[in-house]
Amino acid sequence: MFNFFGRGGDIELIEEYINKDALVIDVRTPQEFHAGNVPNSILIGMHEIAQSVEKIKAYKKPIILVCLTGSRASSAKRFLKQYDIDVINGGYWQNILKYQKAV
């Protein structure tokens, strides 16, 4: 679900997915990603999601999608669910930071 505070997504599931060792995939542009991102996340831009289904499946992990507001992550989630990928919309990329364990 998207909300108007830039924190949309399945935020109630983030901690559960972090604990399941989920992979964070950022669907923003490279410029947005390089301006700030979740440590250990990977960039697969929204325009690359359709071509990356097999690559994403090969990780054999639950997936948390993030972007700037949750909108692109929501679209990517709907698409990936069609391929039986265990995926949630983490919404705003900074939502993830408070749940990641200190390294």
Domain contains 6: no
Report the mean per-residue pLDDT for the chain: 90
Alpha carbon distance 69, 62 (integer Å): 21
Which domain range does residue 22 map to? 11-96
CATH number of the domain at 73, please.
3.40.250.10
32 domain residue, yes or no: yes
Adjacency order of strands within the sheet including 42-43: 42-43, 23-26, 63-67, 87-92
Position 102 in a domain? no
Range 83-101 average pLDDT? 92
- Has residue 5 been placed in a domain? no
Percent with pLDDT over 90 in the chain: 83
Tokens 């919404």 correspond to 91
In a domain, 2, yes or no: no
The pLDDT confidence band at residue 8, using thresholds 50, 70 and 90, is low
Domain count, the chain: 1
Q: Is residue 103 part of a domain?
A: no
35: in domain:
yes
Structure confidence by residue, pLDDT tens digits, 54-66: 999 999 999 999 9
Helix (H) or strand (E) holding 31: helix 30-35
For residue 3, the model assigns a pLDDT of 41
Q: Is residue 4 part of a domain?
A: no
